Amino acid sequence: MDTPGGAVHKVLGAAHDAITPVPAARPEGLPDARRAVAGLIARRGWQVGADHPAAEAMAVALAAFRDVGQGAFEEVFDDYAEACERIAGADLAYVGRHAEVDELVESVVVGTVLGDAVLTAMRRLAHADRSARHFGWRPEEDPRGEDGPDTAPGGAGPS
């Protein structure tokens, strides 16, 4: 018998699975990449099967990294996993605000699609910041000059 939490987990999982794309690519080395992903899942103690659609997507991406000579990317897996665990906690706190199943499903779908866009954009902003700090660049030294986007002081957006 399902607990109320178990039922919610199943509903949320079904909604999430429905919007997780199935990778079309099958790069060489996919079996080894699948084993690496399964190892990450086991190391982190994640309660998810290595056959999860997101695990397959991750294995395809890792195999592609390896195919282009960037297999060392795997060295940051645990760092990524740690950050993603925090993000997942924030996501679930947001989704948990909704009590009705229909609202839960909607918040999972919308939150995942738009959350992915926010996460990608925020990651790129953080890259720009870390790169500037690492290489000593300041916004007033922007090489884009007049051809760059119009921004308010501090790069806050259109003025």
Question: What are the tens digits of pLDDT across the range 15-32?
Answer: 666 666 666 667 789 999
Residue 121 has pLDDT above 70, yes or no: yes
- DSSP for 50-92, please give it: TTSHHHHHHHHHHHHHHHTT-GGGGGGHHHHHHHHHHHHHHHH
Crossing angle for the helix pair 77-95 and 101-135, nearest 10 degrees? 140
Report pLDDT for 141.
65
111 versus 128: which is more confidently predicted? 128
* Residue 158: CB atoms within 10 Å: 7
Report pLDDT for 101.
73
For a pLDDT cut of 70, what percent of the chain falls above it? Answer: 70
Report pLDDT for 107.
80
Does the predicted model carry a pTM greater than 0.85? no
What does the alpha-carbon distance between residue 19 and residue 24 come to, in Å, rounded to a whole number?
15
Report pLDDT for 22.
64
8-29: b or e for each residue (b if 16 or more CB lie within 10 Å)?
beeebeebbeeeeeebeeebeb
Report the range of poorest mean pLDDT among 39-43, 77-81, 107-111, 117-121: 107-111
Residue 105 has pLDDT above 90, yes or no: no
Which residue type occupies 102? D
Mean pLDDT calculated for residue range 106-110: 80
